[in-house]
């Protein structure tokens, strides 16, 4: 799918990898971007940086059906269509199955992770796909593209990541059935499982911690550049023959247990 002038929804797009992707797709590919995020201040700042002509922000709770429907309606009202959906919103919930004194973790903590990281992905994907079905098929083939963001934790979750890893594995599990179903209306579905990237939060870590993280990388021996993630998103949008796949974007690194 040609990216120029296409309307791209990015959840979690007010910061980190989502914001970097918004910048790349607008500045390098001339897309139009709708940011779905809970952080109003960050979302408004992002639109100020990106320009209101090609960017918009809607405060959105991806785990809430009405909130997502309102956000999708706002995008249709402003831009008239949705062509791409990048689901990046997630909560990095970390807790052990058995906490202090061997007590079982409350189910509510696990449910919080699934509500955002898994249910939220399906919630946004399904509502965007409904509108993608109305798009004119580009080159007679595709009407939309979905990119769901998983994680290396889906494969090698660390101690304390049971909930997070389970939700990210669930994102990968949606790939093939969604690609097979939505392919009938010309919508492709892929996922990216990123490793460690040099986000603003990570860059603020102590130098010793950063060096330790870099040592875990295979090749290249560094954390990922956020533009490399954005470039991968662009590739998945533009290459019409990639469907039902998960791209491990992690420099061949595999996280240790701790």
Quick: pLDDT tens for 147-199. Answer: 999 999 999 988 999 999 999 999 999 999 999 999 999 999 999 999 988 88
Burial of 57 (0-12, 13-18, 19+ CB in 10 A): buried
CATH superfamily name and code, 7-196+225-245: NAD(P)-binding Rossmann-like Domain (3.40.50.720)
Whether residue 129 is predicted with pLDDT greater than 80 in this model: the reply is yes
Q: What percent of the chain has pLDDT over 70?
A: 99
Could you tell me the two tokens for 130? 């409904």
Average pLDDT over residues 26-34: 98
Rounded Cα gap, residues 167 and 113, in angstroms: 7
Who wins on pLDDT, 108 or 258?
108
Sorted by sequence, the CB contacts under 8 Å of residue 72 that are 6+ apart come out as 9, 82, 124, 127, 128, 131
Chain mean pLDDT for the chain: 94
Average pLDDT over residues 61-84: 98
Whether residue 201 is predicted with pLDDT greater than 70 in this model: the reply is no
Whether residue 62 is predicted with pLDDT greater than 90 in this model: the reply is yes
pTM, to two decimals: 0.94
Who wins on pLDDT, 256 or 78?
78
Who wins on pLDDT, 251 or 41?
41
Q: Which residues are catalytic?
A: 164
- Is the backbone peptide bond immediately before 247 cis, with ω within 30 degrees of 0? no
Q: What is the largest CA-CA distance in the chain?
A: 61
Whether residue 214 is predicted with pLDDT greater than 90 in this model: the reply is no
Average pLDDT over residues 116-133: 98
């Amino acid at each position: 799918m040609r990216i120029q002038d296409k309307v791209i929804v990015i959840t979690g797009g007010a910061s980190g990898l989502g914001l970097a992707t918004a910048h790349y797709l607008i500045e390098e590919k001339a897309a139009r971007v709708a940011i779905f995020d809970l952080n109003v201040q960050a979302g408004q700042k992002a639109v100020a940086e990106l320009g209101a002509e090609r960017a918009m922000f809607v405060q959105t709770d991806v785990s809430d059906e009405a909130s997502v429907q309102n956000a999708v309606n706002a995008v249709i009202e402003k831009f008239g269509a949705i062509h791409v959906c990048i689901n990046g919103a997630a909560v990095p919930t970390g807790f052990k199955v058995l906490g202090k004194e061997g007590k079982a973790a409350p189910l509510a903590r696990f449910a919080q992770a699934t509500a955002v990281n898994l249910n939220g992905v399906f919630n946004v994907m399904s509502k965007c796909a409904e509108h993608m079905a109305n798009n004119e098929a580009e080159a007679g083939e595709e009407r939309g593209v979905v990119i769901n963001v998983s994680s290396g934790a889906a494969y090698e979750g660390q101690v304390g990541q049971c909930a997070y890893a389970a939700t990210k594995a669930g994102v990968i599990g949606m790939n093939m059935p969604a690609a097979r179903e939505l392919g009938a209306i010309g919508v492709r579905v892929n996922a990216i499982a990123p490793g460690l990237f040099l986000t603003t939060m990570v860059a603020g870590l102590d130098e010793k911690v950063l060096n330790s993280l870099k040592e875990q990388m295979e090749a290249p021996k560094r954390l990922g550049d956020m533009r490399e993630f954005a470039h991968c998103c662009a590739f998945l949008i533009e290459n019409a023959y990639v469907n039902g796949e998960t791209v491990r974007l992690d420099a061949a690194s595999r996280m240790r247990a701790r």
